[in-house]
Chains A and B, each alone.
Chain A
C-alpha cells in the first residue's frame, strides 16, 4: 500500500521499502541518525529526492496539503495555537479511547500537562482519518498505562482503517510490541525481521 522508493537523506544510503495495509513498521536508531528526517521527507515537509506513493497516488500527484492530510506526521513535541482544545479539532475524535470525556474540549491548553497534550495530539491526528501515520516518539511523555492505551488505539485504528504506520521509538521493547513484522534499524540502514516468539 505505501511504497517508498530511493529517499535520499543527506549522508545516508537511499531508503526504499513497502508496507502492506495494516502493517506497522518500527524504526529505531541513535539520536540524529535521520529518523525524524525520514518522517519529514515522507510527509513532504522537506524537499527530498525520492518517490512516495499510496497505492497509485504519489505525493507529486496532489497538493502538499492534500498529501499531508493522508500522510499524517505526529511530531515529538505537539504544538497548539488556540487557547482552548476544541478549535484544534476539525472533526469528531474518539476521546474515550485515551481516557478523556467531552469536558476536555473546554480545557485551556496552558493548563494541560505534556502527557495530556501528547494524548490529545494523537487524537487530533487520528480525527483526520489519515491513511499513513508517521509517529515520532508518540508515547515519550506518557506513563505505562497511557502508553498501552495509545498502542492499543493505534493498533485498532490500523486494523479497522486498513492504514499503515511508521513508529519511531528509542524503546526496543515497545517496537517489538507495536511493529507487526519488521523494524528499520538506522545503525545498519536495513530492515530487520522480528523473529517469531519475541515476548509482547
Chain B
C-alpha cells in the first residue's frame, strides 16, 4: 500500500496559481465574476484550515460534550440552509422546527445507527467517524429535504383552488394533496436515486476518491461508499417523509381546511 503523499504549502500554492490564472483570464475577457472567485477561494482556504485545526483538537481530546456541541452546530446550520432555499418563507419558528426535526431523522438517527450497529466504533462518538459521517449525511440529505419541502409548498400554493375544490367534494386533506405529495417525494428522492444509478460508471463519489488517494485499498473504499450511499438514501427518504408529514399537518387545520395563513409568513401571501 502506498503511504499518503503529504501536500506541502508549496503544492497548494501551485494549485492556487491555476485559480489565479483563471481570474486573470476572466478579468481580461471582462466576464465579471473575478471578485466572487477570489473571495470564494480565500473563504474556502480559511474555513477549511480552521476546520482542520478544530478537528485536530477534537480528535486528540475526543470529549463527548465537545463532539455533541459540534454536531448541534452542524445541525443548526444545515436547518438554516434548508430554510434559505425555500421560495416561500415559512412562518416564524415553525419552519426552523420542521427543518430541525427532519434533519434529526435523516442524519442524527442514521449516523447513530451506523456508529452503534454497523461500524461499531469504540467509544461510539469516536470523532474520526462520528463527525465526517454526520457531515456527509447532513450535506447530502439536506438537498433532498429542501427540494421536497419547496416542491410541496410551491405546488400547493399554485394549486390552492384545486385543493379547495377537492375539499368541497368531501375529500380529506390527505386525499386532496395526494398527487402533490407524490410529486414532492419524487422531487426529493430523484437526485439520490440518480446518484446511486450513476455511481462508479459516470462518477467516482468524493469520499471514495478521497480514501483511495489516502492509500486505502479500493475494495475497502468501495464498501464505505456503499454504506454511505445507503445511509444517505434512507436518511433522505425518512427526512422527506417527515417534512411532507409536518408541512401537510400545518397546511390544514383540524377541520381539514386549507390554511396557508398558518404556514406562510404574511408578506408573500
What residues make up the interface of A, taking CB atoms closer than 8 Å to B?
Answer: 43-47, 63-69, 72-75, 77-81, 90, 124-125, 128
Contacts and interface: CB of A to CB of B under 8 A. Distances in A.
A63 B179 CA distance: 22
Interface stretch (B84-92, B105-113, B169-177, B200-208): B169-177
A189 B148 CA distance: 47
B168 A75 contact: yes
A43 B169 contact: no
A64 B169 contact: no
Interface of B: 159, 161-162, 164-173, 175, 179, 253-257
Given A65-B170, A125-B169, 16 more contacts: A45-B167, A46-B257, A47-B255, A64-B167, A64-B172, A64-B256, A64-B257, A65-B167, A65-B256, A68-B169, A75-B165, A77-B161, A79-B166, A80-B162, A124-B169, A128-B169
30 contacts: A43-B168, A45-B164, A45-B167, A45-B168, A46-B257, A47-B255, A63-B255, A64-B167, A64-B256, A64-B257, A65-B167, A65-B170, A65-B171, A65-B173, A65-B175, A66-B170, A68-B168, A68-B169, A68-B170, A69-B169, A75-B164, A75-B165, A77-B161, A78-B165, A79-B166, A80-B162, A81-B165, A81-B166, A125-B169, A128-B169
Q: Which of B161, B175, B257 has the most CB of A within 10 A?
A: B257
B169 A44 contact: no
Contacts, number: 62
A79 B162 contact: yes
Contact of A128 (B161, B164, B170): B170
Contacts of B169: 68-69, 72, 90, 124-125, 128
Nearest to B252: A64
Which 3 pairs show the lowest CB-CB distances between chains A and B? A69-B170, A64-B256, A79-B165
A80 B253 CA distance: 23
Which residue of B165, B167, B168, B179 has the most chain A CB atoms within 10 A of its CB atom? Answer: B168
Contacts of B162: 79-81
A122 to B, nearest CB: 12
Contacts of A90: 169
Given A44-B255, A46-B257, A63-B256, A81 B179 contact: yes
Contacts of A63: 172, 255-256
Highest count of chain B CB atoms <10 Å: which of A43, A47, A64, A90: A64
A128 B165 CA distance: 14
